[in-house]
Structure 1
Amino acid sequence: MSGNRVRHSDHVLKTIQSDRAAAQSAVAASWCRSAYRHGLDPATHRRRDRVENTGLIERRQANETLLAAANPVLDNLFNNVGRSGCCVILSDIDGIVLESRATAGERALFDAMGLAAGAEWSEQAEGTNGIGTCLIEGRPVAILRHEHFSSRNVDISCMDAPVFGPDGRLVAALDVSTGRPEHGSELAGMILALVQDAARQIERDYFCQHYAQARIVYAGDEKTAGSALLAVDKDDLVIGATRAARARYGLGMSGLTAPRPLGDVMGMADPVGLDAHEAKALRQALARCDGNVSAAARELGIGRATMYRRMERLGLLG
């Protein structure tokens, strides 16, 4: 092992032995997890774990809808960062690389670093690293070269953002990694912003594909949590919500165990009662027929005289 890697291992061990290590920084806290919770050694040279062949195919099949939404975004992100010596990776919830993008000239280098399909980058396997630490902490992270736990990873810098699924739960990590030493903290910050934007786009597209048969209600963007989207069925019942929507409307992770009226979720509940629902149906029919009462009555399957009587009873005339 090179002197630089020996020094790195010694520095990691000295840091985690400090009584105040976990409080010093999020990286130091991750180093402590890596050593004490996962039992890892920063100087390890063990072979990298990799899922291959059938195992990788099964993982991709299990994440088929996610990958359908993610692949165009991965391509676009790689077009933005690939020429600067970066690879783009999407891992599953276990830190297994499902997809990777790299230039032909650098693919072998990234493969040797373990940045290829099937490689495992969980924090349990590799210690502090972009993918694994992002998945453990559920937040965007940038782990630069010397911030990795394992000395064998100090040639890599990683910028990662979590990807949350249609039910608001964490499902993947989006990663941009580079082995170029000239990529410092300023460039890492800019790349991390691109990664976060791409992760939020994957979430939006994944949600819309998952609820392709529903109406999607857009309720705005949250700065860090992404787009607040609600999936609504034909009866105006909310059947799905993104993580941002769950936070905005106080739904939590268990707030949609059963469908809920859209108005109730958004705090704009419609009047309750059969008359209120009948009035709504009549108004909608009239709107679709440009105010033509006869046409609206035909659409509702009732006679014109009945339509007038109901409109009068519900205060819709005049």
Structure 2
Amino acid sequence: MQNPHSRHAQQVLTLAQGKAQASGPAADPSIARSWLRCLEDYHLDPALPVAPTVLEHGRMLECRERMQQVLEIASGEMNNLYRQLSGAGHAVLLTDARGVILNCVTAHAERPTFERAGLWLGADWSESSEGTNGIGTCVVERQALTIHQDEHFRSRHTGLTCSASPVFDPQGDLMAVLDVSSARHDMSRQSQFHTMALVNLSAKMIESCYFLRRFEGEWLLRFHLQAEYVGLFSEGLLAFDGEGRIRAVNQSAINLLGCFREQLLGQPVEAF
């Protein structure tokens, strides 16, 4: 009888042979795209049982130092998110823009379980290293997503369910990824809808807090179509210089104003 890992690897390789899949993980176009990137661009082997690459301690400390302000802001939100999940079997992770894990919040007793799965501090979970996964595929797609069990590319990761959301800086560049991973085998994809909503909300909170910290003491405009939403994560944020020209803008402001970021930056704030 074929073991599950071999069966999963064969399913991935079937896609490489140009055979469209009407059912299974690759029926989802975003999963199929990612699997093909793994095969054609990164030349990964889905059956290879090697654990993720982990940065040397010194290099990880350098990464954490570069991300110090983000880590400080995210720490409280990660702990709050972990409490909201209110159940065993979860790890809340923050990575840099490459997909390297820089912080992890989980129960002490469960840490060995996640480390066996490769979720170590300093582990590189970029898609080019680990194939389709919540963190790495979020980095590539730049949008919130869930990768559930056999939607992962590597057979060794099919026990994981990961919901990840990007965290952008005030210039719109990817700054970090916030992820919730579970190693529970009874985790259904439907159960992740609530988790994904919480992860996405927490990522937006980190973005807003970072924006306010980054431009602390400078000119800021905080606005919303409904006044009661000012001060919440959905508020629009504009930072502008002493001459009243827009320096930075968050995604909510872009949505509220109906403009592209490039149309706003450098323009006089009174024009909007």
Both structures adopt the same fold (TM-score exceeding 0.5): yes
Partner of 2:194: 190
The answer on 1:94 being equivalent to 2:101 is no
CA-CA distance at 1:16 after TM superposition:
2.9
1:202 & 1:38 partners in 2: Cα distance? 31
- Of 227, 250, 256 in structure 1, the residue corresponding to residue 259 of structure 2 is 250
CA-CA distance at 1:220 after TM superposition:
2.7
CA-CA distance at 1:167 after TM superposition:
1.0
Query: In structure 2, do the counterparts of structure 1 residues 168 and 102 end up closer, same or farther at CA, with 3 Å as the change threshold?
Result: same
* 1:83 counterpart SS class: coil
The worse-fitting range, judged by mean Cα deviation, of 14-23 and 170-179 is 14-23
* 1:186 counterpart SS class: coil
Task: Confirm or deny: 8 A CA contact 1:168 1:246 kept in the other structure.
Answer: no
Structure exhibiting the larger radius of gyration computed from Cα positions = 1
Task: Confirm or deny: 8 A CA contact 2:144 2:200 kept in the other structure.
Answer: yes
CA-CA distance at 1:68 after TM superposition:
2.0
Map Cα deviations across residues 261-293 of structure 1 (whole Å, 9 max, x no partner): 2111x1xxxxxxxxxxxxxxxxxxxxxxxxxxx
Task: Confirm or deny: 8 A CA contact 2:246 2:264 kept in the other structure.
Answer: no
Unaligned stretches of 5+ residues in structure 2: 226-232
Q: Let me know the Cα RMSD of the aligned residues.
A: 2.1
Partner of 2:249: 241
* 2:261 counterpart SS class: coil
CA-CA distance at 1:47 after TM superposition:
3.7
Task: Confirm or deny: 8 A CA contact 1:246 1:253 kept in the other structure.
Answer: no
2:208 & 2:18 partners in 1: Cα distance? 43
Partner of 1:150: 154
Structure 1 segment 1-318 matched on structure 2, within 5 A: 3-20=3-20, 25-81=29-85, 83-220=87-224, 226-247=234-255, 248-253=257-262, 255-256=264-265, 258=266, 260-264=267-271, 266=272
Unaligned stretches of 5+ residues in structure 1: 267-318
Higher relative contact order (CA 8 A, sep 6+): 2
Map Cα deviations across residues 181-208 of structure 1 (whole Å, 9 max, x no partner): 1111121111000000000000000100
CA-CA distance at 1:254 after TM superposition:
7.4
- Aligned letter for 1:33? R
Task: Confirm or deny: 8 A CA contact 1:16 1:32 kept in the other structure.
Answer: yes
- Aligned letter for 1:252? R
Partner of 1:291: none
Task: Confirm or deny: 8 A CA contact 1:130 1:160 kept in the other structure.
Answer: yes
* 1:212 counterpart SS class: coil
Task: Confirm or deny: 8 A CA contact 1:82 1:102 kept in the other structure.
Answer: no
